[in-house]
Structure 1
Amino acid sequence: MEPSKVRKRDGRVVPFSKNKIINAIYRAFLSVEKDDKEAVKKIADRVVKELEKKYDGEIVHVEEIQDIVEQILIKNKLVDVAKSCILYRQKRKEIREAKYILGVKDDLKLPVNSLKVLRARYLLRNEKGEIIETPGQLFRRVANAVAEADKKYGANDEEVKRTAKKFYKIMSKLEFLPNSPTLFNAGTRKKLSLSACFVLPVGDSMEEIFNAVKNMAIVQKSGGGTGFNFSRLRPKGDIVKSTIGQASGPTSFMRVFDITTEVIKQGGKRRGANMGILRIDHPDILEFISCKESGKILTNFNLSVAVTDKFMEAVEKNEDYALINPKNKEVVKRLDARKVFSLIATFAWKNGDPGLIFIDEINHHNPTPDVGEIEATNPCGEQPLLPYESCNLGSINLSKMVKKVEDKYEIDWKKLKETVETAVHFLDNVIDINSFPIKEIEKATKANRKIGLGVMGFADLLILLEIPYNSEEAEKLAEEIMKFIIDTARNKSKELGKVRGNFPNFKKSIWKNEEAMRNATVTTIAPTGTIGIIANCSSGIEPIFAISYMRNVANSLGENLIETNQLFENVLKEKGLYKQDIIKKVAGKASIQDVEEIPKEIRRIFVSAHDISPEWHLRIQAAFQRYTDNAVSKTINLPNSATIQDIEKIYMLAWKMKCKGITIYRDKSREEQVISFYSEQKKNSDICPNCNEKLVREEGCKTCKSCGYSVCE
C-alpha cells in the first residue's frame, strides 16, 4: 500500500500524490534534454513500489521520497538525471539556509532576495532590533489598518473585515503592492506618513527657503521623496534690497537642501531623495545644467530642466530665446536655444543629469487648472504635483494577471479588473488614515485626493505572452492594458465619489461636468524599485536589465543582490534546453543575442535594456503615457558608445511623442550605478573568482560551495 501522507520540511502533513513525483522527475528529465514521458512514468512506478515496501500506508518524509527517486534513477543508469535532482535539492537547501540565516519566518514562501529587502527595510523590529513580524503579518498589518477607513463611510466591523481580507489577498499574493511608506508605517503606532511623493514650494525670501528645508526634513523622516522648483529664486548676483547684498542664486541654496537630506535617514529605512527643477528661462540655467559635473555635490538630487514648448520650437527653428528674471519679469539676456539644448544633452551624456520635464505638456493635462499651475514632480518624475500636494502610489504586478489556456498564457482581464478596483479602493482609503507631516500638505492632498495606480512586471508579462519588448505588438499591448486600467480605475473612482463624495476641488477640475469623481487623478507609472524586488518581478514598465545581474544596493541593504531571471530558466527547462553551461555563459552579460546555443525564438523574447533602441524605449513610454493621468517613470538606457547627438535626438523625440518627461542613462557614465552586470564587479563581489558560482555568506565570510574558495570580511 502506498504511503497515506507526506510530512513536509516545515512539519505540515499533506496527502501523498504520485502526480507530484511524476512532475518532479519529468522536470529533471527536461533539464538534461530528455523528453521521455514513458520512461518518467516507469521510474515513478518504481519509486512508488519502493515506498510501498518501506512505508506501507504510513507517513513518509519528503526527503525520503527524494532519496529514493535519486537511488532509482542511478540504478537505471540515468546518472545525468539523478545529478540534476541532486543539484536542485542542493540549491533549494541553500535557499532554505539563506532564509534561516536571515532570521525571517518565511510564511509566504518568498524568494530570498524578497526576504532580504523585507528584512532590511520593512519588517517591524522591537527595541532590541529583533524582527517581530513575518511577511504575512506585515501585509495583514497594512491591510487591517487601511480597511479601517471604511468605517468613516458607515461600514460595520464585519464589512471592514471583508475589505481587509481583499486587501491582504492582493498583497500577499504579490498581485498589488502600495508604495514603501505605506508598508513601512501603516498599522504602526508611529505618526509617520504613508505617502511616497511630495512637492514643496520654495519662495524667494530667506524665511521661505529655510521653511522649505525644514518641511523637507519632516517629510523625509517618514520615507517620502520631495520635489522642488527653484525658479522663483532670484538669480545669482541680483541685489537684495534688505541687505544691499547680492543673491546667491538657486544652485547655491540647493546645496543646503542636499546637505540636510544627507544627514536625514528616512524613518530609519532609507536615505532621502529630491528632485530639483529650474525653468529653461531662468537666468541661472547654465549654472544649473552643469552643477553636477564634478559628481561630488547635489548627490541627493535628481535634476530636471523645465522646458517649454516655446523653447523646443526655438530649438527646432535654430532661434534664440529670452532669460527672464523671476523677481521683476524683465528679460535679462537672450541665448541660442540650440546651444543650450546641446549643453543639456552634453551633461546628461556625462552623468545622466539633467533630464527634462515638458512643463507645458504636464499642465495641458493638469486636472485642477483653476486651483493652480503644476511646477514640479517627485524625485523620479512620475508624479507632477501642485505645491504642498502629496500622492500615494501602488502598482499592479502584471506578471500575475495571466491565465494559461492550453499551452499558452493570455491576459486574465477579469482578474485585472478586480485587482484594479480593489487597488483604487485601497489607495483612496490610505488618504483617510494617513498622517500628514504638515497641515499645508494635509489640506492640499485632501482637496484633490490624487492617487497613482501603476504597473510593474510589464517585461515579465511580455515574456509570458512570447512578445518581444521592441515590437509593435508590445506597443499595442501597452496601450490596451493601460487604457483598460485607467477606464476601470476611473469607473471605480466615480463609484466611490457617488458613495463617499467628490474630492473638494471637483468644481474647479476637468471633471466638473461628470456626475462624480472621488480622485482628481488615478494612474501613475512608478519605477517600483524595492517593491518590484519584493514582488519578484521586473521593475515598472522597464525591459529586463539582463538575464543575470547585480543590483547595487549594499549601502541600504548591507549587501548587493544577484538576480537571475527565473522566466529564462523556466523557458529553457520547458524546451529541454536547460544546461549549467548555458546559465554560466549568459551570467553577467549585457545581452544574450550572440549566444547561439539559445534558439533565436527564445533570444528575441529575452531582449534586455541594452538590446532595445532608444526609439523603442520611447515608444513604450509614450504608449503608457497616453493612458496615464500623471506621468511615467522610465529610463532610456544607452550604451557607453552613445553620442551627445544621440541624446539630443532622444530628447526631441520624447517631446514630439508627448511624453511628460525624459531621463537617459549612458552605461558607466557614473562611478556607481544602481544596476550593473556582476562580471564588472571588481571588489566585494558575491561571485567566486575561481569558478563563477555564487558565494554564500557564513559567519562573516563568503564561501563558494562549488570549489571551496573563501574570503572573510
Structure 2
Amino acid sequence: MQLTTFEGHTAAELGRSAAPQDDYSPYKTIRRNGAVVPFEPVKISIAMTKAFLAVVGAQGATSASIRDKVASLTESVVSSLMRRKPEGGAIHIEEIQDQVELALMRFGEHDVARAYVLYREQRSQERAARGEALHQITINVIRKNGNKLPLDIARLRATIESACKGLAETDADAILSETLKNIYDGVPEEEVNKSSILAARSLIEKDPAYNYVTSRLLLNNIRLEILGEAVSQEEMAERYASYFPAFIKKGIEAELLDEKLAEYDLKKLGAALKAERDEQFGYLGLQTLFDRYFLHVDGTRIEMPQAFYMRVAMGLALNEVNREERAIEFYNVLSTFDFMSSTPTLFNSGTRRSQLSSCYLTTIADDLDGIYEGIKENALLSKFAGGLGNDWTPVRAMGSHIKGTNGKSQGVVPFLKVVNDTAVAVNQGGKRKGAVCAYLETWHADIEEFLELRKNTGDDRRRTHDMNTANWIPDLFMKRVMEGADWTLFSPSECPDLHELFGQAFEKRYTEYEAKAARGELKVVKKVPALSLWRKILTMLFETGHPWITFKDPCNIRSPQQHMGVVHSSNLCTEITLNTNEDEIAVCNLGSVNLVNHLKDGKLDSDKLKRTITTAMRMLDNVVDINFYPVKKARNSNLKHRPVGMGIMGFQDCLHTLRIAYGSDAAVEFADESMELVAYHAYWASSEMAQERGRYPSYKGSLWDRGILPHDSINLLAAERGGYVEVDRTERLDWNALRERIKTYGMRNSNCLAIAPTATIANIIGVSASIEPTFQNLFVKSNLSGEFTVTNEYLVRDLKALGLWDEVMVADLKYFDGSLGRIDRVPQNLKELYATAFEVEPKWLVDAASRRQKWIDQAQSLNLYMAGASGKKLDELYKHAWVRGLKTTYYLRTLAASNAEKSTGRGGELNAVPVSGGVTAYQSAPTTAPAQVEENLPATDAKFCSIDNPDCEACQ
C-alpha cells in the first residue's frame, strides 16, 4: 500500500483528521524490537486509510466517506484496546493490528480487510528476509526493590514450564513466544508475570488445560505481590507456615481482622495449610478471589489463597471450645472445595465487622414511619453486603383513603422508586451493587402498575430500572386462571387480614370480601378476568423479565414455622421462605455443597456427603451467633429461629460425569435421589446439634415438633389446595429413624435447606452454578473481574477421545453460540449429553426442581430457559410449575426464534454484545425478537437478566 494522494490529501492527513483526539498518555506501544513508544491512534487511522485507498483508489469514493469510516473504525479499535487495559499500559503492535483486522471484518469491509491482511503478511516476509527478530534490543527488568536486571529468559521459560507441568496438550514455548512479544526494556517484574498470564489466557479456548496454566502463572504474581519476591509453588509448602502468623498479625494491625484471631495457636494452623491446594483453582476462580475477596492494605493484597480459607474458618470457629481443631475441620471442607460458604461469609468472616449473612427479608408497614423505617433498614442491610427481599403488600393502594390527612394515597409505586434509588446509592460495602426485590400479592389493587415497573416506556418517575420485582401469587388466583373465572383487586387498607392468611382460610376470607365489594361496602375494588391478568403477568415477564412468579401458598403451607407467623415474600434470589412481620426481619445464612466432589464409582458417596454436610451445618449454625446484625430486628429473629440455608452446586457436572442428559427421566431421578440424600443428612445434622447445643427457641409447635417432615408437608398442600398437586412421593431412605431422633432431640435450626444461585462461589471452585444446566459449551463470561473464556472441559475430553477437538471445532462452537446441535460431525449422543440450557425443554428443569422441592424446607433459585418464547409456552410452563408444587421461580431467560446473521471473524473470541436495557447477551451476534408472539404477548426486544451479568446481584 502506497501513501496515495486523494483529492489533495495524503493518507496521513486523512488519517490524522479521523483519529480520536483524547489523551492516551497512560498507554504505550511495544514495537517488534521491544522498544516502547507512545500510543498514537493516528497511526491506526493512517494504516486503515492506506488499506481503503489500496482497494477503492482515489476515484472510488469521496474523502468525506473515507474519513467517516476510518474515524468509526479507529474509535472501535481504540475502545477495544482500552477495555483490555482500562488503567493504561503497554500494547504490542501485533495486538493492535489484530484489532484493526477484526474491526474491518466486523464492519463488513471484507475487501479492505483482505488487503490489510496481505499487507501484514508482506511486511512479515520482508522482516524475515532481513533477519529481523523479536527483542533485538536488550530487555531489562525492574524488580520490586528498584534494581534493574537483564531479563532472564531461561528462568521465565522454567516458570512457564512449571505451570504447564502435568497438563498434557499445553505448549510452554507458545506461551513464552507470546509473552516475549509483550515486554519491553524497563518493564516491571510484575508486568513480565502479567504478560505470561495474558499469553496463557489467550490459549484457553484451544484447550481447557490452559485455564490451570493461567491460574498457576497468576499465583506467581500473587506471591510476588504478597511475599515481595518470586517464590515457586514447591517452596510454598514450607513458606505458608511462616507466612501465616505474620499475615494474621498484619491484618490485625491494619484493623482488618478481629483481634480474637491472635488468640489461636497460629503455628498449628499455619502448619495445617496445604499449599498444593492452590493448584486446584482455574483462572476465573483465582482471579475472582484476588480481585474481590483477598484482604488488602492500601490496594496491596496481604492474603494468600490457603490463608484466605483458614481466615474464614477461624472466623467461623471463634465460639468453639476446641477452636483450633474446628478451624482445621472447617478449613478442610472449604479448601478442598467440598463445601463453600456464601460470598458475605467469605468476605467478612474473621474481620472486625463480620456480617456473614446473605439474605434479609422485611415487611413494610402501612404508614410513613414504617415505610421510611423499612427503606432505612434496606440501606443499613445493604451497606454490610446483604441481598434484600421486601414485602410491600400491606401498603395501601392508590386511591385509598388516608385518615390523617383526609386525602388519597398515591399507592405503592412512588415509594418503590425511592427503594430503587436507595439500592443504587448504598452498595454492598463497596464490593458489589446493592440489590433488592420487592414483592406484591396478586390481589393488591396496584398490581397492574407493579407489573410495569421495569418497562422502558412510560413515566420514568413510576419505573424502577435497578431493582427486581416478584409477584406473590395465592393458589386461589391460579385456580381462577385454570377455571376461567374473575379476579378481584383490593386495597390492603380495607382488607388487611388477607395479607396474613393462606390456603383455605385465605380463600374463605377473600370470597367474603368479594361479597362485600358486590354490596358496595369497599371503596377500592376492581374486577378483572383472572386469565387477562395472568396474560399481562406473562407479557411483562416476557418483555422485562419481571416480576418473577412465586407462589404464596406452598411457601406457607409447607413452612415448618407456620405456627409462628406467615411467609410474606421470598428474598432477592427466591430461595428463602421465612416469616416476617413488623418486629422481625428474617435472616438466612447460606453455603453450598459441591455435589460433583461427592461422586464415587458412578454414584453419590453417602458417607462423605454426611461428613461434609455435618461440618457445613455446624459452620452455618455458628454464623447465627457470630454474625454482625446491622439492625436489631434481624438479630432477634435469627436468634429466635436460627434458620440456615444449605444448598448444592455442580449438579450439571454430576450429570456430565454420570453421562446423563439434563433433559431426561434419568436426570429427574438423579435430582430426586441427590436431594433426598442431602436433605436427610442436613436434617440429621441439625438434630445432632440440637442434642449438643439445644433446640431453637421457637421449636415448640413447629412441623418438626408435630412429626411432619418437609416431604410429608406435600400432603398438607394437597389438602389445602384441593387438587392441582402432581408431585412424585417416592422415598428411598429410613425417614422413620430421623422422625424418632427429632422427636427425642428436636432441631437446632427452624430451616436447613435452600438452593441459592451460587454464581460467584461456583466460579471460584470451577463447577456449574447451583442446579443450572450448561449455558454454552464455549463462551466468554463477563463479571466484575473482567471477561473470561469458558470451555466445557467434559465436552473437550470427549471430543478429544473421538479425535474431533481441533481449531475447526472451536470455530464452529463460536459460530453456533456454544451449541453442538448444528455441527454435523458430532455424534448425536454427545449432542444430547451436552445440550445447552436453551436446547433443553424447560419442563425438564421444572420436573427436576419438583423432585428437589419435595425434600427442601425452603425453596430454590430456579432459572427457566426458553428458546423461541411464546405466550402459549409461557402459560403452559408456569402452570406446570404450580401444579408440580414449586414454591418459587426465578429469572426467565429466553432466546429468540431466530438469530441475526453473524459476521465472519478472524479467529476471534466470543464477544459480549450489548442489547437493549443495558443487558449483555453472550453471543457472537445480537438476538432478534420473535416476529409474532402467540397468546397476546407482543413482539419485543426482550430485556432479561443475562448469564453472569456483572450488574446482577444473583449473577455475582
Q: TM-score, normalised by structure 2?
A: 0.59
Give per-residue Cα distances to partners, 1:232-263, cap 9 Å, x unaligned. Answer: 11111222221233212111111111101101
Q: Distance in 2 between matches of 1:650 and 1:575?
A: 37
SS at match of 1:607: coil
CA distance in 1, matches of 2:604, 2:808: 33
**Which position in structure 2 is the counterpart of 1:249?**
411
State the identity %: 28
Is structure 2 residue 539 aligned with structure 1 residue 309?
no
Query: Residue by residue, what CA displacement relative to the aligned partner does 1:34-72 show, whole Å, maximum 9, x if unpaired?
Result: xxxxxxxxxxxxxxxxxxxxxxxxxxxxxxxxxxxxxxx
Aligned mate of 1:383, from 576, 581, 590: 576
Shift of 1:578: 2.7
1:130 matched to 2:294: no
1:165 to 1:125, Cα distance in 2 relative to 1, 3 A:
same
In the other structure, the counterpart of 1:442 is: 635
Larger Rg, first or second structure (1 or 2): 2
Measured after TM superposition, the shift of residue 218 of structure 1 is 0.7
Q: 1:531 is matched with which residue? A: 761
Tell me the equivalent position of 1:698. Answer: none
Change (3 A) 1:229 1:368: same
CA–CA separation in structure 1 for the residues paired with 2:445 and 2:158: 68
Instruction: Report how many aligned residue pairs link the two structures.
Output: 598
Tell me the alpha carbon deviations over residues 375-412 of structure 1, each in whole angstroms, 9 at most, x when there is no partner. Answer: 01111101112220100011111121123x4xxx4332
The question of 1:493 aligning with 2:493 is answered no
Q: Return the offset for 1:623.
A: 1.6
Give the distance between the partners of 1:356 and 1:89, measured in 2 at CA: 40
Give, in whole Å, the separation in 2 of the partners of 1:223 and 1:668.
35
Q: Residues 180, 9 of structure 1: CA spacing in aligned structure 2 closer, same or farther, 3 A cutoff? A: farther
Matched, 1:345 2:515: no
Deviation at 1:177, TM superposition (A): 0.6
Partner of 1:504: 697
Q: 2:254 aligns to what?
A: none
Amino acid paired to 1:505: S
The equivalences for 1:68-79 within 5 A come to none
Alignment pair present for 1:566 and 2:793: yes
Counterpart amino acid of residue 812 in structure 2: K
Q: Deviations along 1:160-188, whole A, 9 cap, x unmatched?
A: 22221121111111111111100000001
- Equivalent residue, structure 1, for 2:558: 365
Gaps in structure 1 of 5+ consecutive residues:
1-6, 14-19, 30-82, 683-713
Q: Tell me which moved more, 321-330 or 425-434.
A: 321-330
Q: Are residues 1:548 and 2:778 paired?
A: yes
- Taking a change above 3 Å as real, the CA distance of residues 389 and 544 of structure 1, as seen in their structure-2 partners, is same
Deviation at 1:676, TM superposition (A): 3.7
AA paired with 2:411? G
Going from structure 1 to structure 2, the CA distance change for 1:8 and 1:438 (only over 3 Å counts) comes to farther
Aligned-residue Cα RMSD (Å) equals: 2.9
Aligned partner letter, 1:647: L
Tell whether the 8 Å contact from 1:550 to 1:676 is kept in structure 2 after alignment.
Answer: no
Change beyond 3 A, Cα 1:550–1:676: farther
- Pair 1:593 & 2:786 matched: no
Within-5 A mapping of 1:109-128: 109=279, 110-126=281-297, 128=298
Q: Which amino acid aligns with 1:112?
A: Y
1:358–1:660: 8 Å Cα contact kept in structure 2? yes
Q: Structure 2 vs 1, CA of residues 410 and 368 (structure 1 numbering), >3 Å: closer, same or farther?
A: closer
Residues 28 and 535 (structure 1 numbering): CA distance in 2 closer, same or farther, change over 3 Å? closer
Q: Tell me what 1:271 maps to.
A: 433
The unaligned stretches of length 5 or more in structure 2 are 1-155, 172-202, 227-232, 234-274, 496-512, 518-524, 707-742, 898-914, 928-956
Find the aligned partners of 2:779 and 2:347 in 1 and give their Cα distance.
27
Q: Secondary structure at the match of 1:347?
A: helix
Bigger mean CA deviation after superposition, 475-484 or 581-590: 581-590
Does the 8 A contact of 2:778 with 2:813 survive in 1?
yes
Residue 101 of structure 1: how far off its partner (Å): 5.9
The one-character-per-residue Cα deviations of 1:523-571 (angstroms, maximum 9, x if unpaired) are: 1111111111001111100101010122232xx33x2333112222223
Quick one: which of 617, 622, 643 aligns to 1:429? 622
Q: Distance in 2 between matches of 1:423 and 1:88?
A: 30
Say which of 591, 596, 602 aligns to 1:399. Answer: 596
Give the distance between the partners of 1:357 and 1:634, measured in 2 at CA.
11
- Residue aligning to 1:48: none
2:924 aligned partner: 679
User: What is the alpha-carbon distance in structure 2 between the residues aligned to residue 576 and residue 217 of structure 1?
Assistant: 56
Shift in Å at residue 584 of structure 1?
2.6
Residue 219 in structure 1 maps to residue 381 in structure 2: yes
Q: 1:507 to 1:643 in 2, by over 3 A?
A: same
Q: C-alpha offsets along residues 207-234 of structure 1, whole Å, 9 cap, x if unaligned? A: 1000001111111111111101111111
Separation of aligned partners in 1, 2:883 and 2:622: 37
What whole-Å deviation, never above 9, does each CA across 1:675-698 have from its counterpart, x for those lacking one? 74342389xxxxxxxxxxxxxxxx
Give yes or no for contact 1:551–1:676 (8 Å, CA) kept in 2: no
Which of residues 302, 305, 320 is equivalent to 2:486? 320
| Offset from partner CA, 1:59-105 (integer Å, 9 cap, x none) | xxxxxxxxxxxxxxxxxxxxxxxx99x99998876555555567777
- SS for the counterpart of 2:882 is helix
* Equivalent residue number for residue 42 of structure 2: none
1:137–1:92 CA distance, 2 compared to 1 (3 A): closer
CA contact (8 A) 1:479 1:623 kept: yes
Q: Is the 8 A contact 1:547 1:586 kept in 2?
A: yes
Cα deviation code 1:645-666 (max 9, x no counterpart): 2111111111100001123222
- Deviation readout 1:485-544 (Å, 9 max, x if unpaired): 111111111010011000000003112242211011111111111111001111100101
Amino acid at match of 1:542: E
User: Aligned-pair distance for 1:137?
Assistant: 1.2
Give 1:626 deviation, angstroms. 1.2
Determine the C-alpha separation between the residues in 2 that align with 1:348 and 1:666: 11
Q: Is the 8 A contact 2:590 2:644 kept in 1?
A: yes
1:180 maps onto 2:312 in alignment: no
The within-5 A match list for 1:184-223 is 184-189=347-352, 191-223=353-385
SS in 2 for 1:214: helix
Q: For 2:810 and 2:220, how far apart are their aligned partners in 1?
A: 26
Kindly indicate whether the alpha-carbon contact (under 8 Å) linking 2:400 and 2:491 is maintained by their aligned counterparts in 1. no
Query: Which of these residues, 136, 145, 161, is aligned with residue 315 of structure 2?
Result: 145
The match for 1:74 is none
Distance in 1 (CA, whole Å) between partners of 2:833 and 2:210 is 30
Question: 1:112/1:161 Cα in 2 relative to 1: closer, same or farther (>3 Å)?
Answer: same
What is the aligned partner in structure 1 of residue 247 from structure 2?
A: none
**Does the alignment pair 1:578 with 2:814?**
no
State yes or no: 1:656 paired with 2:883.
yes
User: Does the CA contact (< 8 Å) of 2:593 and 2:646 recur in 1?
Assistant: yes
Quote the Cα distance in structure 1 between the aligned partners of 2:806 and 2:383. Answer: 48
Question: In structure 2, do the counterparts of structure 1 residues 475 and 267 end up closer, same or farther at CA, with 3 Å as the change threshold?
Answer: same
Q: Which amino acid aligns with 1:318?
A: G
Distance 1:667 1:369 in 2: 39
Q: Distance in 2 between matches of 1:375 and 1:629?
A: 16
- Matches of 1:8 and 1:162, distance apart in 2: 41
Partner of 1:3: none
The residue number in structure 1 matching 2:332 is 169
* Distance verdict in 2 for CA 1:494–1:674, change over 3 Å: farther
CA displacement at 1:28 relative to structure 2: 8.3
Distance 1:294 1:673, change over 3 A: closer
Range with greater deviation from structure 2 (569-578 or 161-170): 569-578
Aligned match for 1:356, one of 549, 552, 555: 549
2:459 matches 1:231: no
Contact 2:561–2:579 (CA under 8 A) maintained in structure 1: no
1:9 deviates by 5.8
**Distance (Å, rounded) in 2 between the aligned partners of 1:412 and 1:90:** 30
State whether structure 2 residue 444 is matched by structure 1 residue 282. Answer: yes
Instruction: Tell me by how many angstroms 1:608 deviates.
Output: 0.8
Q: Which residue of 2 aligns with 1:66?
A: none
Which piece of structure 1 moves more, 389-398 or 232-241?
A: 232-241
**Distance change (3 Å), C-alpha of 1:173 and 1:94:** closer
1:227 touches 1:377 (CA, 8 Å); kept in 2? Answer: yes
Taking a change above 3 Å as real, the CA distance of residues 184 and 87 of structure 1, as seen in their structure-2 partners, is: closer
